Amino acid sequence: MFHNLHAFFLKTNNIRIKNKLIFFFIIVVFVPVMFVGSYLTAEFRGTVLNHATIQTSNNVDKIKSRAYENLKVSIDVSDRLMVDTRLSKLIRTTYTDRYDVFEAYREYLDFATYISLFKQISSIRLYVDNPTILNNWEFLNPDEETLKSEWYQRAMAKSISRIDWEYMKEPQIPSSGPSFNLIRKITFDGGTKGVFVISLNQQELNSIVSQEPFASLLLDSNGTIVAAKDTSWVGKNIREMDFAKDLTGRSKGTYEFDFEGKPSKIIIDDLLPGDSDNGLKIISVFSIESIIREANQVNRLGFTIIFLSLGLATLLIYLFASLLSNRLLKLNKSLNKVAMGDFHSTLAIDGSDEIGLLAKQFNFMVTNISRLMDEVRESNEQRNQLLLHQKEIKLKMLASQINPHFLFNSLESIRMRLHMSGETEVATIVRLLGKLIRKNLEIGAKDIPLEDEFEIIRCYLEIQKFRYGNDRLSYRLDIDTDGELVRIPPLIIQPLVENAVIHGLEEIEKGGEITLTAKVESGWLHVEVEDNGIGFTSDRLQDIMRAMDESEDREEHRIGLRNVHQRLILTYGERSGLTIDSEPGRGTRIYFSLPIGGKTHV
């Protein structure tokens, strides 16, 4: 395949550039754009439809939540009435005259109170078998028609904890229309039984679906439409609707079918409140055509723009190919003259593109060879001088790592001790000093083992003990065996020790102590430098911490701490920066932690 492709491209070498550009434009641009456009169009339509489905599902969930809130109010009210002792007394009482009944009704106003408190409820009625009470639209003795009704018999056959929901018309309330009701049995002390019928407010039910963008319905278990965006559907049975056959046997889910002659999607969900034997079915329908109509308009507009753009691009490619071909022909003629030996020939091609630059470079090629060679020679000399200068700077930087003040004081102390004491101790200090100087000079940019850093610090502290005396300065170095070979940046701990000696113990006349600890825990190296010197006040400590985070060195005597802090952060991250604890007269503790082998910030 690769051989055939290579052969094809070789054949195109015989095609003029203008024709080649147009051909490849059609192959590389026109065809892929049309393919991608068609693919994106289909994807866009699918995305819009999926988005509408998701949005409708969310709307169904919202309808379900609001419907549940409405039903829950009725359930809560029935729960309260089930345990209402005043209601139980009213129902169980055998009344001898009508005045007693009216007086009992006048004192018990809980039904009206609940209706006024909860807008979701339109009426509350209790059907009870007590012939001494009077029917007053709230308390009723069931008549023969009610006793034979399916809903009443079904309620009386249930336990008191179970609830039915049904859209119906009560035979004993001829003036009222059908409504959606909670039906629940109640048993009073003494064996008196009754049935609660709590009617839900139809306006509140309709408001649940009235604001939905698509056709939405609430059905009871018999298929009666309890609430609908189109309120004219309320009270009708779903079986009477044209699309009923498409909903028969449908369970919870999303389906496609024809709704009012248009391809549509339907989402079905169930709502079954607690303690209920039946509930509501939620249905939301949206037309696929209405959803993708705008998408089709966008697609048509997009294809129009694509065709116009491709037509304009084809014209521009043709013009550009013609211009490019003519300029290349002029370049070819001039090159032919040079090939024939006419080295005085020049290329008269305007423009600053690749062809124009090629012409200009050709014209100046011969005359500039000598100048370019001189420039190369001069450039090499400058480079050599720069390298030499860099080596000098590096040497000075390495030399400057030794504190001249420290070296001077050390040498002066050696001189005085040489004058006052024997040569054994002096020889030891001189050896340590030479070792310290040599290690500082040998240090480069590479990491060194922790034990080498500790050796440098030990030499430094021994020399300082020599300067200050054993009574004034002592030290303790504690390093884990596991941490000896851990590699760290050079001179990352020594400045902390030097800072503790110079600034912490300078004013201590006796008993100064430096403690250096390094231990490995959970893949981290923890280093701590502690002294029992003069310490810092909290304000001074805040100034030092602030200075370490600044980009410029404003305090020369804190440059060492700042450099160590910045090197740790740049190498290992913010977590590895210096932390300082200090109290006046109690000393100072400086510590940091770095991941073993974890230079993620370099």
How many angstroms separate the CA atoms of 231 and 216, rounded? 10
Sheet of 225-228, strands arranged across = 225-228, 215-219, 280-287, 262-271, 253-259
Which tokens belong to 98?
């009508």
Report the SS3 class of residue 12. Answer: helix
Single-letter amino acid, residue 60: V
Check residue 352 and give its pLDDT. 66
Q: Is the pTM of this model over 0.75?
A: no
In angstroms, rounded to a whole number, what is the distance separating the alpha carbons of residues 131 and 229? 43
pLDDT at residue 297, as a whole number: 63
pLDDT at 342: 65
The reported pLDDT for the residue numbered 602 is: 47
Mean pLDDT by 10 residues, the chain (602 residues): 56 63 68 67 65 74 88 91 88 86 88 91 90 86 88 86 88 79 86 88 88 82 87 84 63 72 77 88 73 61 73 74 70 69 64 68 60 63 54 44 54 62 65 68 72 86 81 86 84 86 78 88 90 85 82 57 83 85 87 77 48
Q: So what's the pLDDT on residue 465? A: 83
Q: What is the dihedral of CA 504, 506, 508, 514, to 10 degrees?
A: 50
Q: Environment class of residue 71 by beta-carbon count within 10 Å: exposed (0-12), middle (13-18) or buried (19+)?
A: buried
Closest by CA position to 150, among listed 141, 138, 158, 139: 158
Q: What region does 442 belong to: left with phi over 0, alpha with psi -120 to 50, or beta?
A: alpha
Amino acid type, 257:
F
Residue type, 364: F
Structure tokens belonging to residue 485: 């070979």
For residue 412, how many other CB atoms are within 10 A of its CB? 11
Would strands 280-287 and 448-449 be described as parallel, antiparallel, or unpaired? unpaired
Q: Which residues of 562-573 are buried (b: 16+ CB within 10 A; e: fewer)?
A: bebbbbbbebbe
